Each structure stands twice: as structure tokens, then as C-alpha cells.
């Protein structure tokens, strides 16, 4: 039988203003740190933003999106089509009472070219961090807390890492709060489409 939290978890895009207790946030991080990681590097770091610090973080996100829209020193010039979704993500980030910045402590800036070996290492670290994020999302579901994992931070990468004050790679963010919506399950591909046996 599938763990209930896997089936009931939803990506939430509307949040109540109610704050989440610090003890709950620490439970989520405790769950994240139990994730498996390549060679047990545990390449993750989580920075919690709330209050004025969160306002400043989202202001940097807004500045980055504006820069991309104007076509000035674009980070993702071939992904301009994703900017409307990123602007909606910004609205969600502004609404959620808590944002968690997720860093790869072994990673390089997305603006830095990589060798093949470095790219493979980065993939392994990203897989590890993805496992930590999923642990966090499932623990949040168990705690009755709503979440949205966010990758659109990539559009505002320079502005965000400067504000965060880090040389570590910014992987993304997680919005945390109490849900102000109850979305239906999203469709999933059938097993027949994603599963293949070979012998």
C-alpha cells in the first residue's frame, strides 16, 4: 500500500497568512536531512526566510524577472517563454508566509561552465537534494502544512544569490504555509506508459 502522504500531497499556490510554528519548520528540515545522498555528502543547506527577510528575497526575485523581461544580461534567453509562469510563481512566493532557499553546498553557480565530470557530480548532488526536498514535502503533508517546490528562481539567479550572500549553488525554493485552496489530484501517466520490464 502506498504511503498516504504520497497520495494526498498537492502543490499549493494559494496560502493563508497564518504563520507556521518554528518547531514544525524544524521537523521538515529534520525529515530532509534523513534523505539518501551520493557518497553521503549531504550537499544541502536550507535557509528560512520570513517577515522582512522574505520581502527582500521576493523583491530580488522581482528585479531578476524584470531584467530578464527587458532582455538585459539574460540568464535564460532561450527560456523566455517561461517568464509568465515565473511571474505567477513570484506572486505565490509573496503570499506564502515562509520561503526556504535550497542550496547545493558542493555546487557551482549555474553561470559557470562545467566539465563532464563536474556535470555528473552536479547531477548526483541534485538527485540527493531532490530526495531531501521530497522528504520535506511529505513530512509537511503529515504535519498539515502546504508546500510548493519552486524552480523558477533560476531566472533571477544573480540577484538571489547576491542577496542570500552565498557562493553555493541555488537549487530553488520551497513555499511553506497553510493552504487556502484544495486542488484536485493532477493527472498521472499510466503505469503502462512509464514502466518497462526486460529480461
pLDDT in tens, 138-157: 999 999 999 999 999 999 99
32-41, 58-67, 105-114, 143-152: least confident range: 105-114
Cell triple for 114:
562545467
Give the confidence band of 72 by pLDDT, cuts at 50, 70, 90: confident
Q: Is the dihedral of CA 53, 11, 22, 125 positive or negative?
A: negative
User: Which of 159, 145, 141, 157 is CA-nearest to residue 56?
Assistant: 159
C-alpha cell at 177: 504555509
Per-residue pLDDT tens for 27-56? 999 999 999 999 999 999 999 999 999 999
Residue 49 Cα distances to 70, 139, 164, 184, angstroms = 28, 19, 10, 29
- The confidence score (pLDDT) of residue 195 equals 97
- Region 6-14: what's the mean pLDDT? 97
CB atoms within 10 A of CB 122: 18
d(CA 149, CA 99): 10
Q: How far apart are CA 117 and CA 63, in angstroms?
A: 34
Q: What is the DSSP letter of 189?
A: -
Read off the pTM: 0.95
**For the residues of 99-149, what is the DSSP string, one character each?**
EEEEEETT---TTS---HHHHHHHHHHHHHHHHHHHHHHHHHHHHT-EEEE
CB atoms within 10 A of CB 46: 19
Contact 175, 148 (CB under 8 A): yes
Rounded to an integer, the average pLDDT of 86-115 is 96
Angle, helix 22-32 to helix 116-143, in steps of 10 degrees:
140
Amino acid at each position: 500500500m502506498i504511503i498516504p502522504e504520497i497520495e494526498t500531497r498537492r502543490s499549493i499556490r494559494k496560502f493563508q497568512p497564518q504563520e507556521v510554528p518554528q518547531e514544525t519548520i524544524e521537523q521538515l528540515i529534520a525529515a530532509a536531512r534523513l534523505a539518501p545522498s551520493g557518497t553521503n555528502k549531504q550537499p544541502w543547506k536550507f535557509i528560512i526566510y520570513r517577515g522582512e527577510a522574505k520581502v527582500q528575497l521576493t523583491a530580488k526575485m522581482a528585479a531578476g524577472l524584470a531584467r530578464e523581461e527587458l532582455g538585459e544580461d539574460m540568464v535564460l534567453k532561450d527560456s523566455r517563454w517561461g517568464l509568465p509562469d515565473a511571474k505567477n510563481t513570484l506572486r505565490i512566493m509573496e503570499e506564502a508566509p515562509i520561503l526556504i532557499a535550497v542550496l547545493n553546498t558542493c555546487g557551482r553557480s549555474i553561470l559557470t561552465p562545467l566539465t563532464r565530470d563536474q556535470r555528473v557530480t552536479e547531477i548526483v548532488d541534485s538527485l540527493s537534494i531532490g530526495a531531501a526536498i521530497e522528504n520535506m514535502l511529505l513530512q509537511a503533508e503529515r504535519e498539515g502544512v502546504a508546500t510548493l517546490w519552486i524552480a523558477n528562481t533560476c531566472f533571477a539567479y544573480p540577484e538571489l544569490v547576491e542577496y542570500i550572500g552565498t557562493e553555493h549553488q541555488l537549487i530553488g525554493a520551497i513555499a511553506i504555509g497553510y493552504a487556502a485552496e484544495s486542488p484536485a489530484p493532477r493527472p498521472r501517466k499510466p503505469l503502462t506508459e512509464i514502466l518497462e520490464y526486460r529480461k
